[in-house]
Amino acid sequence: MGAHIAYAIDPVAERRVLAEEAGAIALHPGEAVEMIREATKGRKPDCAIAVFGRDETVDLALRLVRARDTVSVIGVQQSQRYAFPLELFLQRA
């Protein structure tokens, strides 16, 4: 078991290089949704892990996975209060 393909999405080029060296497919956040949609032929990943606790990171993770699949947030939330995008979550359920 384990990930067959791992995508690492990061705006910082140096961290993308490190991710590639570790075996991931590294993408910039601006290209991630389209590139992953093409690579998976529209199927999308089974899960996403948001490691950095920014609102944009969680939103992107929710957009990347298929409906009823898993998003784990393990980063430290950066904002005082994160308004969970319930409408996006419910559209996917």
> What is the per-residue pLDDT across 52-65, written as a single tens digit (0 to 9) for each?
767 788 888 888 98
Domain boundaries, the chain: 7-92
Average pLDDT of the chain to the nearest whole number: 84
pTM > 0.85: no
Residues 29-43: what's their mean pLDDT? 93
pLDDT tens, position by position, 1-23: 566 889 999 999 999 999 999 99
DSSP secondary structure string for all residues of the chain: ---SS-EEE-S-HHHHHHHHHTT-EEE-HHHHHHHHHHHTTT---SEEEE-SB-HHHHHHHHHHSPTT-EEEE-SPB-SSS----HHHHHHH-
- Topology (CATH level 3) of domain 7-92: Rossmann fold (3.40.50)
